Structure 1
């Protein structure tokens, strides 16, 4: 028993579900991570895809899981003045950072990666929770028709 006395013992219970805002943060954080990887791959001249599993039926009717590549669409584009503009999306909705400001403007691909990493940090810190909540509400409203 003397070895257990060196540990801090507490009464704790594992939560059964995570709060919705943490789930949304995690979802958006993963999508921003995909964009970072896509930007790095394009900078190096390669491609980036994400693998996912899909259940299909065989010719005899049995189901099996196959691994397919999921297409990752880039969230940035080159504006008319030659600068790179980055939109952050939650589902099909574009997140508005400030009133009327939906894009981040950067000069190059290197700055794009830095901007995406800053945004990922902001998402994980909870700085975009109100914007995520608004976008999530708009996405959910589209399903209620």
Structure 2
């Protein structure tokens, strides 16, 4: 109980109206997602060039059968490469999710050439995405479950 000598606890706090959370631009979100996926492809390409095995991990909750305690563990994650070789010429499919992302009408595949050029092509694509060169294509993408 507050007395005239003592301040109440609530009077020592500063109250305000709840601030409105600003929504981030969906294009910026899509750019970030595409850049992160391209970085994974870049790591895969580096491993291919250096003849190493690429393994990505995801965290998953697993329940111990004996104790019943849940624990987070890292398990290997299957990631498909966006690059492939036909007759010793490498190609790179630019994708957003599982859909091809066309840089120009009907063209979503980059001709890479030699295997060693994969990293430079992917880095160029990352630069193009960060510069906003694919914003019109990213704007046409619909959210999953929306029509």
TM-score by length of 2: 0.76
Matches within 5 A, 1:20-99: 20-59=26-65, 60-80=67-87, 82-99=88-105
Q: Give the deviation of 1:111 after TM superposition.
A: 1.6
Q: Deviations over 1:36-93 (max 9, x none)?
A: 111111111101222221112332544221111212211011235x321110111110
- Aligned equivalent of 2:4: none
Q: The residue matched to 1:28 in structure 2 has which SS? A: helix
Structure 1 runs, 4 residues or longer, greater than 4 Å off:
none
Let me know the Cα RMSD of the aligned residues. 2.2
- Aligned equivalent of 1:4: none
Unaligned runs of 5+ in 2: 1-18
Cα distance in structure 1, aligned partners of 2:26 and 2:55 = 27
- Aligned equivalent of 1:112: 118
Unaligned runs of 5+ in 1: 1-12
Cα distance in structure 2, aligned partners of 1:127 and 1:68 = 35
Counting helix residues as a fraction of each chain, which structure ranks higher?
1
Cα distance in structure 2, aligned partners of 1:87 and 1:132 = 15
Q: The residue matched to 2:105 in structure 1 has which SS? A: coil
Q: Give the deviation of 1:124 after TM superposition.
A: 1.1
- Aligned equivalent of 2:136: 130
Q: The residue matched to 2:60 in structure 1 has which SS? A: strand
Cα distance in structure 2, aligned partners of 1:133 and 1:79 = 32
Cα distance in structure 2, aligned partners of 1:63 and 1:92 = 32
Aligned residues: 127
